[in-house]
Amino acid sequence: MTRVVEVPGHFDHQAFDQFAQAFGAPEDERLLFDAHATKWGSPYGLVGLLAAGQWLMERERPKPLLTIPNDRDVAHYWARTGFFGHAEGLFELHGKVPYVAASGSSDVLLEVTPVRGADDVHSVVDRIQDRAAAILHELGLEAQATMGFAMALSEACQNIVEHAGTGGWVAVQTYHWRRRLGRRVAVIAVADAGVGFRASLEPTQAQRVGDRWSDAAALEAAIFQGVSRFRDPGRGQGLTGMRRYVGRWDGKLSLRSGTARLSIVPGWDDDVPMADGLPPFPGSQVQLIIPAQQNK
């Protein structure tokens, strides 16, 4: 039996819960991820889609199908991000994958990239820095924002290496966020299909929190108290560092894990700081948005 998982038409972090709802709790049925009508896919959507495919593959479920967006521009954009190169190992692709020559002038700061170990983090950080300097300058951000951006990227990727228990995906891009902000933004999106924050922190934190222990409590502990599954007191600083970085540059940080999403919400956004009781989704998903400064 094949079950259809509809990929939202505007597949970004706001529509991700709809995607998670459709993904549900797959068992042995084959899934068909239907993106034929998708008109936009953010880096967050793309890495989340790969995480779903990865979760199925690691559990030896039937290889899912993925229909490619009919919209030529959307399919080309997905190709430019390098999405299809990774998707073909996880999904049976249906539709014509566009051929896109590599271009250094793309708004794709970092193509969709797998993160499995420390070497991948080095590679990602190395590749991002020169391109990020130029792009962030265009966004009106000071030079200091570039290194902070790379540092936040490093910490977000390390969250996979240190805590997920499996690999994950990262992508970095700039785009004009017309619908919400009317400004250009630089976005880091990271997703994995691992154990998630709750399972990672449970051995050290669940007893302390007691009955309140949940996905939401785990996210709060990680980002506000800087706790980690390790007993080393120096651990757990990465997420708090990312929080400081977005605070400094008026950015937004969102972490979704299990059934909860915690966001550090800037003045330009009206998201809720904590959304609980969401449709469950494997692993954890992190998004960091840095907007162009107001005079740009």
Give the three-state DSSP class for 154.
helix
203 membership: H or E segment, kind and range: helix 196-209
Q: Report whether 192 contacts 166 (CB < 8 A).
A: yes
Shortest distance (Å) from residue 47 CB to another protein? 20
116-135: contacts with another protein (CB under 8 A): 118, 121-122, 125-126, 129
Q: Which of 237, 247, 273, 277 binds another protein (CB under 8 A)?
A: 237
Q: Which residue is associated with the tokens 């966004």?
A: 139
Residue 187 CA to residue 203 CA, distance in Å, equals 32
Number of chain positions touching another protein (CB under 8 A):
25
Residue of 104, 210, 234, 267 interacting with another protein (CB under 8 A): 234
Q: How far apart are CA 156 and CA 228, in angstroms?
A: 14
> Which residues are CB-contacts of 37 (< 8 A; sequence separation ≥ 6)?
9, 69, 70
- Min dist. Cβ of residue 246 to another protein (A): 14
The answer to whether 224 contacts another protein (rule: CB under 8 A) is no
Minimum Å gap between C-beta 186 and another protein is: 17
Scanning 81-89, 93-101, 183-191, 238-246 for contacts with another protein by CB under 8 A, the matching segment is 238-246
Quote the Cα angle for 152-167-254, to 5°: 40
Residue 202 engages another protein in binding (rule: CB under 8 A): no
The answer to the question of residue 244 lying near another protein (CB under 8 A) is yes
Measured in degrees and rounded to the nearest 5, phi and psi for residue 4 equal: -90, 130
Among 233, 267, 294, 295, the residue binding another protein under the rule CB under 8 A is 233
Identity of the residue, 241 or 279, whose beta carbon is nearer to another protein in the bound complex: 241
Is the separation of the CB atoms in 169 and 112 below 8 Å?
Answer: yes
What is the distance between the alpha carbons of residues 287 and 83, in angstroms, rounded to a whole number? 17
**Nearer to another protein (CB atom), residue 72 or residue 122:** 122
Query: Is 77 within 8 Å of 18 (Cβ atoms)?
Result: no
List the 65-67 sheet strands across, edge first: 2-6, 30-34, 65-67, 92-94
Per CB under 8 A, does 240 bind another protein? yes
Cβ distance 198 to 283 under 8 Å?
no
Cβ at position 151, least distance to another protein in Å: 5
The binder of another protein chosen from 9, 241, 279, 280 (CB under 8 A) = 241
Of the chain, the end-to-end C-alpha distance in Å amounts to 52
Judged by CB under 8 A, which stretch of 34-42, 150-158, 249-257, 265-273 contacts another protein?
A: 150-158
Site for another protein in 28-57 (CB under 8 A): none
Q: Specify the stretch interacting with another protein by CB under 8 A; choose among 2-10, 210-218, 232-240, 259-267.
A: 232-240
Q: Does residue number 158 form part of the binding site for another protein (CB under 8 A)?
A: yes
Q: For tokens 């997905």, what's the residue?
A: 78
Tell me which residues touch another protein (CB under 8 A).
Answer: 118, 121-122, 125-126, 129, 144, 147-148, 150-151, 154-155, 158, 161-162, 226, 233-235, 237-238, 240-241, 244
